[in-house]
Amino acid sequence: MKSCTVLAVQADGSTVRTVESLAPDPFSLHPLQAAFVEHHGLQCGYCTPGMLMSALDLLATNPSPSDEEIRGAIHGNFCRCTGYQSIVTSIRDGAARMRGEPGTNWYGEPLADSE
């Protein structure tokens, strides 16, 4: 749900999760946030909260999405900086980390322990 299309009164009694609540503590990042940093899934930061929250919504129901499914999940978020591939790569890598697997490289291949 996009915050710009919902009146505050419509959210009364609901749980509202924001991007600020993702990190487990002030000194750590959520695995998805870390993947965005490492794969340059953010540039100016304008679209980042929407991309992260859309990705988390996707991963809650589909922990191993294809690139096509990732693109479908973020289709309503506009980015003018990255060209989207780095965002898709970031989400794919963040999903792997959230599943407890090693991160992935640009091509979706698991990282070796030394990488």
- φ/ψ bin of 42: left (φ > 0), alpha (ψ from -120 to 50), beta (otherwise): beta
Domain ranges of the chain: 32-104
What pTM value is reported for the model?
Answer: 0.84
* Per-residue pLDDT at 74: 96
Residue pLDDT, tens place only, 27-39: 999 999 999 999 9
- Topology annotation, domain 32-104: DNA polymerase; domain 1 (1.10.150)
Looking at residue 31, its amino acid is P
Residue pLDDT, tens place only, 56-111: 999 999 999 999 999 999 998 999 887 799 999 999 999 999 999 987 777 777 77
Mean of pLDDT values over 20-30: 93
User: What does the alpha-carbon distance between residue 82 and residue 11 come to, in Å, rounded to a whole number?
Assistant: 32
